[in-house]
Chains A and B, each alone.
Chain A
Amino acid sequence: MTTTDTRARARDAVAAAPVGILPTIEMRDVRRVAGPLLLVEGADSLAFGEVVTVVTDDGSERDGQVLEVDRSRAVVQVLGGTEGIGRANVAVRARFRAAVTGVGTDVLGRVLDGAGRPRDGRPEPTAEAYRPVNGLPLNPVARIHPDQFIETGFSAIDGLNTLVRGQKLPVFTAAGLPAAEVAARIATQARVPGESDEVVVVFAAMGVTRREADFFRDQFAASASGHRNVLLLNLANDPTIERLFTPRVALTLAEYLAFEKHLHVLVILTDVTAYCEALREIAAAREEMPGRRGYPGYMYTDLASLFERAGRVHGSTGSLTQLSVLTMPDGDITHPIPDLTGYITEGQVVLSRDMAGRGVDPPFDVLPSLSRLMNAGVGEGRTRADHRGLADQLYACYARGVEVRRLVSIVGESGLTAEDRRILAFAGRFEEEFVGQGEARRTITQTLDLGWELLSEFEPGELGRVGAEHVARHHRTTARSQP
């Protein structure tokens, strides 16, 4: 009876004042503290998914979220860790609202923590609106299919795995490879040819080291658009559980900027693996049935709830592009984290130790890389008419080159035909010159021309993937022989 009344009053209060003045209900009957979780008895005023404040007797406050309600009990996950919490010295205070975050353009140029609070010693940014961090699914009918080419300056991406606005393209990397450098270079150098629209970068660091965080901060500060970026930093030694909120706060902010403020937003999430490990930690603390490698069965759904928050929509000129960095444990692409991610994202760019070992810098491994939205973003009027065919041809020749290289390692070079030798030489130049571009930034025209230069080692008749008119126009020997 009384709880029903309280609840009704609370709902009315929420309806009247979204944030702020609310009735105070405190629950002190904490039965269990395990890992990041509290089990609270007498909590029937709590709703699933709601945020709460966890108060200890020394007056310190932490945020928490309700993970489960079961009759009068609730399971609360505590952001900011459970150190110092006992069964007797803690109270859970209801706030009667879903996890929301303030959004607005005031956050640009700020450094926030993993839950969206200031980390730069300045006051809380002004919120233009409050939005639930979990977001809502975009209506597929309201989406616009992404087709605007983004020039990243990397030949391996622009030429072969083209990124478009509104795409979600992760970088799969292995420990010790320069994924952070690649991500930072894309963030600071990416542009759309022929446009001067600014790109806003929302950078969410999940469980990264201080060194990496400093690196990103410096990169953004050094770039011309430093004031148009926002950094959310959940460092490796910050509470694990906050990591589950970091990407959601970042994406909520990004959706607002892209779809309501018409900005071109690039969200960089790093590192997805640290995020998934946080997810596993919570699942284990809840004693859930583990799935593959101990990761929870709902990891696909959970990751999808992040990655699907990208795109372009009708009614907005902005866009939300996602670039996440994912460290494949032991470089294994079939590990559940890269595997599930690959099924959700629109392709992947892979860095490999093998390439790094061969001295290819940046070490893009183009064969397992893929951009699913490439077709819409290339061709006449976007990049160049010969782009698609050229990319297919480079792929086909390189794949054969790698195959021949494997043969050589077994039988030696003596048994090779002349054709094999040419294809082998091509594969070497392709890695050294096309992929291994070092610090240089290439325009799309430079990338495509370089591709043609490499392919000119072959007879025009061998280039079956490219249209004859393009071969005639761009193939070096053919072009030369023309009057």
Chain B
Amino acid sequence: MSTTVSTPDGTRDQVGTVVRVSGPVLEVAGLPACRLYDVVRVGVQALPGEVIRLDGALATVQVFEDTSGLRSGDPVTGTGGPLSIELGPGLLGTVFDGTQRPLAALSAEHGIYIPRGADLPGLDRARTWEFVPSVVAGGRVEAGDELGTVQETAALRHRVLVPPGVRGVVEHVVEGSRRVDEVIARVQGHDVQMLQRWAIRRPRPVRGHQALRRPLLTGQRVLDGLFPIALGGAGIIPGGFGTGKTVLEQAIAKHAEADVVVYVGCGERGNELTEVLEEFPQLSDPRTGRPLMERTVLVANTSNMPVAAREASVYLGITMAEYYRDQGLHAVLLADSTSRWGEALREVSGRLGEIPAEDGYPAYLATRLAAFYERAGLVDCLGSTPRRGSVTVVGAVSPAGGDFSEPVTQNSLRVAGCFWALDASLARSRHFPSINWTRSYTSYRLGEWFDEHVAEDWSRLSAWAVRTLQEEGSLLEVVSLLGVEAVAPPQRVTLRVGRMLREDYLQQSSFDPVDASCPPRKQIAMLQLVKAAEDAMTAAVTAGRPVADVVAHPALRTVAAARGWPTDETLERHLDEAVAALHAALTTDEEEQG
């Protein structure tokens, strides 16, 4: 059996035997030459596994497949390298499992179930790409330089780069139709293919990191308007079940202003992934007009797939995102849910008999989470010509019992810049996205960018909205104890404005074709309208009109209609008319009464 596996040094050092099987974890005797995180093949089916501990004569291996049927004495062969994936044109539009097996190809071969030991390469070997060289033989290149391009999708020109670690004179370069595993250039004695391999646990190298000053626009009002995330930043969405994590992640996947979206369904529901698979090809990318699937890579590790592959899936996702970042693109990684990954760590740690830290999670949970989120960033890419790319990471967290004090939430919080706290009581009253405005925050300072590029009053109004919502929250507590009559007229106006902000501005339906994505221009227009409503109410109250009549004025209901406004040249006209109508309605009534 061991003959089927290529061992670089071809020695007996790479052969061992199983001595213990406990769930997904094995103990293996032998394998003296293997290193931590080396990939091994186990048993007659050559099931892939990864070395996670070395102790004396024993190696501990986590297996990426169901281990049923393995016995003490079964052969184990080392492959001599860590878990690596294939990078190159053809990733976009593909659905992979946690160890980068292409699921469509797997289904074509094996039917509706995923059998054990099924093995297929990540990139399609039969497909050819039209390679257009950008260099000529004799030129000098360094790692990260563009050798040529292929049109990966109608909208995306894929840069084929000199792989990290390679530099020197281009001895030879081809042009025309090639498969990913054919040599397209020879650089200083190295044959370069379009296909590159990269070990998923190792971040891909960059020249340097940039300060985060630009937002990643998501089209979600509560995110962009109140708690924006930076391009190259990291955010987490913690929430109990049913609070809308997946819908929000999917909304970002659909509407974020990114070149490439990598969506990792980590330990999640099969039916939900299918929904993405069926829906994304039908939707179009607002920026290019092409099917959304063409900018998307999906990693589908459903909750019933092997637990070790779940752990691998998040690294697979971020490595692919980094690969596109290196080409000077803006990639977004969405991980739903990072808690499943944490639990995979806990499960394996428990099987190893490690001393548990908080809630049974291993003590290295914080380190792993930090290392993962730190792979986000806005970077100067490798290569002699300046190029900037980014990876923005948004991780959903599923805290046990909806309690945010648990370790995965808390440790993610320390490294992520945005905290979008989902709230069960908001979800229950069908306030979506159910992001709690008092608990959520962003640490990115992006107000300047919005003031400069969208509207000069952006950060002022955004701060006003947060403040008003806070005030409304405290007032509602008073009202709940003493009744609404107990608060003074200006505060009743604040209550009405708070309600408008909640119901007409923050709530956004992912299922409404117009409202699903809201561009910044429209966001600010809506906020300006609410502010105008506040000014009109305040004016009416100051002029002596009974506050109960003012806050119950039917004209205020028109604010909700702003959601349906088109974002085109008529937007400003809509806003001006609505503001004028509000003022007129509130003041005219007053005159009639007076």
Contacts and interface: CB of A to CB of B under 8 A. Distances in A.
A372 B95 CA distance: 22
Given A136-B114, A298-B347, A69 B400 contact: no
Interface in B42-68: 66-68
Contacts of A367: 428-429
Interface in A255-312: 259, 288-292, 296-298, 300-301, 304-305, 307-311
A339 B483 contact: no
B267 A342 contact: no
A392 B432 CA distance: 11
Interface residues of A, number: 88
A233 B461 CA distance: 63
A415 B485 contact: yes
A68 interface: yes
Nearest to A371: B242
Interface stretch (B30-38, B314-322, B352-360): B352-360
B360 A259 contact: no
Contacts of A376: 275
Nearest to A406: B480
A70 B20 contact: yes
B69 A98 contact: yes
A300 B272 contact: no
A317 B456 CA distance: 57
A95 interface: no
Interface stretch (B136-144, B228-236, B300-308): B300-308
Interface residues of B, number: 76
A307 B269 CA distance: 9
A371 B554 CA distance: 34
B475 interface: no
In this complex, the member of A289, A343, A344 whose beta carbon has the largest number of chain B beta carbons within 10 angstroms is: A343
A145 B482 contact: no
A176 interface: no
B274 interface: yes
Interface stretch (A121-129, A204-212, A394-402): A394-402
In this complex, the member of A301, A372, A461 whose beta carbon has the largest number of chain B beta carbons within 10 angstroms is: A301
B484 interface: yes
A372 B272 contact: yes
Contacts of B111: 139, 142, 315
B211 interface: no
B126 interface: no
Contacts of B73: 3-4, 7, 44
Contacts of B115: 136
Given A289-B360, A297-B343, A396-B430, A140 B273 contact: yes
B300 A140 contact: yes
A141 B111 CA distance: 10
A444 B116 CA distance: 44
A152 interface: no
A417 B22 contact: no
A372 B246 CA distance: 10
A7 to B, nearest CB: 7
Interface stretch (A47-55, A433-441, A449-457, A474-482): A47-55
B353 A395 contact: no
B560 interface: yes
A399 B429 contact: yes
B71 A47 contact: yes
A139 B113 contact: yes
B484 A415 contact: yes
Contact of B560 (A300, A411, A464): A464
A140 B103 contact: yes
Contacts of A342: 240-242
Nearest to B19: A71
A298 B70 contact: no
A429 B265 CA distance: 41
A141 B277 contact: yes
A300 B342 CA distance: 12
B271 interface: yes
A49 B483 CA distance: 64
Contacts of A153: none
Contacts of A308: 269-270, 302-304
Contacts of A406: 480
A346 B71 contact: no
A48 B398 contact: no
Interface in A180-224: none
A140 B304 contact: no
A7 B115 CA distance: 23
Given A71-B20, A139-B113, A461-B557, A368 B302 contact: no
B49 to A, nearest CB: 13
A102 interface: no
22 contacts: A47-B70, A48-B71, A49-B69, A69-B20, A70-B20, A70-B27, A98-B68, A137-B113, A137-B302, A138-B270, A140-B103, A142-B111, A143-B271, A298-B307, A308-B302, A334-B402, A334-B403, A340-B400, A344-B303, A368-B242, A368-B428, A416-B483
Interface of B: 19-23, 27, 66-73, 95, 103-104, 106-107, 110-116, 240-242, 246, 265, 267, 269-275, 277-278, 300, 302-305, 307, 337, 340, 343, 346-347, 350, 353, 356, 359-360, 398, 400-403, 428-430, 480-485, 503, 511, 554, 557, 560
Q: Sort A-B residue pairs by CB-CB distance and give the 8 closest, nearest first.
A: A415-B483, A49-B68, A304-B303, A334-B401, A399-B429, A342-B241, A308-B304, A136-B113
Interface of A: 3-4, 7, 44-50, 68-72, 98, 132, 134-146, 166-167, 259, 288-292, 296-298, 300-301, 304-305, 307-311, 313-316, 334-336, 339-340, 342-344, 346-348, 367-368, 370, 372-373, 375-376, 388, 392, 395-396, 399-400, 406-407, 410-411, 415-417, 461, 464-465
